A and B are shown apart, each in its own frame.
Chain A
Amino acid sequence: MSKLGQVVEAVESYNKFVLDHVKRARSDEQFGRELLGRWNDIKAKIPVTRTPTGLPLPRLALPDIDDPGEIARYLFGEGLPGEFPFLNGAYREMYLEPVREVESFEKDGGTGRGRPLGAPEKKIPQAEEPTRLFSGLMLAEDTNERFHYLTQHQRTHRLSTAFDGPTLYGIDSDADGVFGKIGEGGVAIDTVEDMVRLYDGFDLGSPNFSASMTISGPAPIIMAMYIAAAKRRFGPKVVPKLRGTIQADIFKEVQAQNETIFPIEASLRFLTDMVEFTTREMPRWYPISISGYHIGEAGSTPVQQAAYTLSNGFAYAEMFAARGIPVDQFGPRLSFFLDCGLDAEYIALARVSRRIWAIGMRDAFGAGQRGQLFKLHTQTSGRSLIAAEFKNNLTRTAAELMLAYMNATNSCHSNSADEPFTTPSEEWIRLAAHGQAILLEESGIFKHTMNMLSGSPGMKAVERAIEVAILKEFREIERLGGVLAAVEDRFQRSQIQNAAHRYEQQIYDGTRPIIGLNKYRNGEDDAPEIKLARTPRAKQQLQVDRLKKFKKKNAEKAKRALDKLVDVVERGENCFPALLGAVEVSSLGQITGRLQEVVGRFRPMV
């Protein structure tokens, strides 16, 4: 049985554990009283907060239950926010306004006149600002300028970087036939010098800075470039301080996104090399973002998205453990990335995922609490946005944001309404960011009370249905011999394609209404006036020229560094340190090319 099979058993036995405790709470008076006591204690400690109109509200909402059985079901089955199995949230408090005045809610029956419970709890883990904006365009200096624009009013600088096509495929900007693609859809990065330009002016070692890089196929090379760039600017001591995330999710590339450049086994080996290095040397770095987003965008059902993402995550955990990396070293450095669309499943998809991950990591992998947390970045669905009557996309994104925060996501990116056309332009990015601010800061939906919208009967029904469906997918993958075997069999890929085809069919036959497209259509294809962020030819030429200069300057050194890299790869050692040397003098394409000579190229699955 692979670890995935053990995860299924762990979840099933945990569910049984919960039911047993529900029964026991009802039959064993002593146990029932203890639970009731604990429950009342929890409630008594909940601080009170006030809405702007003065209405007192508890900072944590709990169900109105007093039956010990129901209390057991809640505490064990769902857990308080920040408590195992984390259904309601990875942390105790998220999105809440800072505490101004702390009062007990219970003691005065919610009149708000209770005496303060002493000093406000300053140690409440304040989640970072959940807004993360994705950007990448043209050349490194252009993206850098955009980064500075986006973060001008922000306390913390959390940059999320999109790369252009050639970079995503590990190709140099001077390669044949990619000229028009330079800087399109993301930033062009060929060398460590570009990487220096990309984050210029930001303090990479600061606790208030984090960089996220959305790239998988050549991720270890790009990671090495980032480290090298940081060292060039701040010296070697900055390395352990670096914060951020690199996507590096090979499984989802093969399953959905098609940006794999080495054969699967070699890709996984390079990934593990990187994870082994970063989890040891860079304890604040997330070296992998296990991503369902692209699975969802490629057309999977929400359940498939969660099931494949989680099972990919467990497969990575199994692989890292097999390399000998301790689970409490890598466990806390795994993070997740999910899509949030408009389907009903999204009401609870991330909640259920968080619970399954926690149980699996604790009971099948023996992870400690930090390694049990399903740390989630959510992005609203790009696929749900359409070109026809595109301003409707604002509403779609707003509804998706609402769902994402109902799932207690740790961070979120909201798409720009103009995304179906281009790399988002400033005007629409601003609206997208403001959408989040309106929801979290202006509206009272999330800022006063944790659990404000959790636990409705509908949400619970969705949770139950989703969990059953995800476990069913796990069993199917296990039956095929585990995640890697299923991936090589194209199992997930064909399931996703099938679901995508059905989705399109539903749009064409109208059973899936898309407003402005197949329903309430105004009859015209409106091509809105949107300023397109296209990369001028002169800039593309500049990138090519700079790259050629770099290659010429380093020709000799590059050869030596690449020979050394190849040697390490052939010997089967961890090649990440050699990569760190190679990126100083060679380009992304040079490194990819040499590695492909040794390990081969990825053969597309069609």
Chain B
Amino acid sequence: MSPPIRILTAVPICDGHDSAINTINLEFIRHGIEVIYLGYHRSVGDIVRAAIQEDVRAIGISSYNGGHVEFFAEVVALLRKRGSDIKVFGGGGGTITHDDAAAMKRKGVDKIFFAGTSLMEMTDYVRKHYGKPRKRTAAKSSDMELARKLTETEEAYAKGKRRTAKQIRNPQSAIRNSKVIGFTGPGGAGKTTLIDELVLRFLNQNPKARIAILSHDPSVIGQGALLGDRATMINSQDDRVFMRSMATRGQAGGLSPATHDCLALLAESKFDYVIIETVGTGQEAMPFQQNGIVDLTVLVMNPDYGSRLQLQKIVMLDLADIVVVNKSDLQRARTAHTEIEQRLEQNRRDQQLIDTVAKRHRDPGVDDLFALICSSGWVRRS
């Protein structure tokens, strides 16, 4: 089976009109396309960086606030400057005139959809024009090279490759540069926000640090997916952050079949930290157990997990190095903290429990978590 088309969609800077793109995103994924959605009010730099890191076939931009001729042209120009041949298309209802569209095409934009274009027309266009991989020219930057290797890895699995033991490198070997931290937990617990807040602290603490993030969203084999973590990660759109979004493509447990190899690639690249985030997981999930690469595991919990008995069923509570009760401003958080604390005591391991409110700026709980991660001995417990 051929791997899904990956494209990136976004709304330009100073533009909050996301109604059209939300509808279009849903239509794309319904037709088997993986859409990395960057959100609204996004700069040229953010869009180009994300597109290169995600190694998408094309960028779709939905613009309703004017300045589109310049904006689209700047996106194309920056892509070409960075040595990328990623294609650009888009639309803006009636705000983009035919003359504008002609000017934009001269500046390298593939296609502008006008008002009244059906969703089907757009989907067909994307599938027809971006359905096949292009011939690659030499990668112009290490990020681009890494992004392409990740694509190759992912596509190999999509075409039926099975994992071999060979790729598992010794995590302690000299080749490893990075400290790898795994985040997992149920959907809606706030993993993405928490990671983004930690990234801000990593970046501030060390002005040279580079961080990689491997983020996951669920999908079914052969179908599309909306990979939307980037849209809310305001601190992670930075040249010092390499982020890659993956769809699970039918694999249960929170990761994709290709995750292990992709993570190995990232861990061998020159990052100070590699963060991996699973999709929202169920009680039985133990995504990092067989991985051998993750140094430190963090389980992010929502205070609303149900009855106390439910805690007994969550396997990750036995395995995680750190357990975070996020949204600790909620009423139930105190009870949750007490119950989880008791649950962890049964394990008789040196597991840490931290309360956070990730959505709060400068949250002291997130500061504590950051300090704990930084001070970790980075010796894997097993």
Q: Name A residues whose Cβ lies closer than 8 Å to a Cβ of B.
A: 164-166, 168-169, 171, 176-182, 184-185, 257-259, 263, 266, 298-299, 386-388, 390, 420-423, 497, 500-501, 504, 508, 517, 525, 527, 530, 532, 534, 599-601, 603-606
Contacts and interface: CB of A to CB of B under 8 A. Distances in A.
Interface string B64-103: 0111111100100000000000000000011101100000
Interface in B103-131: 114-116, 118-119
8 contacts: A178-B13, A180-B74, A182-B67, A257-B16, A258-B17, A525-B115, A525-B116, A605-B232
Nearest to A521: B116
B365 to A, nearest CB: 15
B112 to A, nearest CB: 12
A606 B39 contact: yes
A530 B94 CA distance: 12
A497 B115 contact: no
Contacts of B242: none
Given A181-B66, A387-B115, A420-B93, A599 B361 contact: yes
Contacts of A178: 13-14, 67
B228 A606 contact: yes
Interface string B347-382: 000000000000111100000000000000000000
A604 B39 contact: yes
B67 A604 contact: no
Interface residues of B, number: 46
B115 A501 contact: no
Interface string B1-21: 000000000001111111100
Contacts of A165: 13-15, 65-67
Given A258-B41, A386-B116, A606-B18, 11 more contacts: A164-B14, A165-B14, A176-B43, A177-B44, A178-B14, A184-B65, A387-B93, A387-B114, A387-B116, A388-B116, A604-B40
A600 B234 CA distance: 10
B234 A604 contact: yes
Contacts of A508: 118-119
Contacts of B141: none
Contact of A497 (B19, B37, B234): B19
Nearest to B21: A606
B67 A500 contact: no
Nearest to B363: A600
Nearest to B361: A600
Given A166-B14, A176-B43, A181 B234 contact: no
Given A178-B14, A517-B116, A527 B41 contact: no
A599 B98 CA distance: 43
B94 A180 contact: no
B231 interface: yes
A525 B115 CA distance: 9
A531 B44 CA distance: 28
Contact of A263 (B44, B66, B232, B361): B361
Interface of B: 12-19, 22-23, 26, 37, 39-41, 43-45, 65-71, 74, 93-95, 97-98, 114-116, 118-119, 193, 196, 228, 231-232, 234, 359-362
A92 B197 CA distance: 55
Contacts of A257: 16
- Centre residue among B66, B71, B74, B234 by max chain A CB count within 10 A: B66
A110 B273 CA distance: 87
Nearest to A599: B361
B204 to A, nearest CB: 11
Nearest to B18: A258
Residue of B14, B232, B361 ringed by the most chain A CB atoms within 10 A: B14
A501 B19 CA distance: 8
A603 B71 CA distance: 23
Contacts of B196: 603
A181 B232 contact: no
B120 to A, nearest CB: 9
A100 B61 CA distance: 59
Contact of A504 (B23, B228, B232): B23
B233 to A, nearest CB: 8
Given A422-B95, A532-B97, A180 B232 contact: no
Contacts of A166: 14
B57 to A, nearest CB: 22
A422 B97 CA distance: 9
Nearest to A182: B67
Contacts of B19: 298-299, 497, 500
Which interface residue of B67, B68, B70, B119 has the most chain A CB atoms within 10 A?
Answer: B67
A179 B70 contact: yes
A131 to B, nearest CB: 25
A487 to B, nearest CB: 13
A256 B254 CA distance: 32
A177 B74 contact: yes
A299 B69 CA distance: 27
A501 B97 contact: no
B73 to A, nearest CB: 8
A266 to B, nearest CB: 8
Count chain A CB atoms within 10 A of each CB in B16, B359, B362 and give the residue with the most.
B16
A601 to B, nearest CB: 6
Contacts of B193: 603
Nearest to B358: A603
Given A165-B67, A185-B65, A386-B115, A603 B95 contact: no
A299 B231 CA distance: 21
B41 to A, nearest CB: 6
A497 B19 CA distance: 7
B63 to A, nearest CB: 10
Nearest to A179: B70
Contacts of A184: 65-67
A497 B15 CA distance: 17
B114 A525 contact: yes
Contacts of B18: 258, 606
A475 to B, nearest CB: 21
A420 B64 CA distance: 10
Contacts of A176: 43-45
Nearest to A504: B23
A183 to B, nearest CB: 9
A497 B24 CA distance: 13
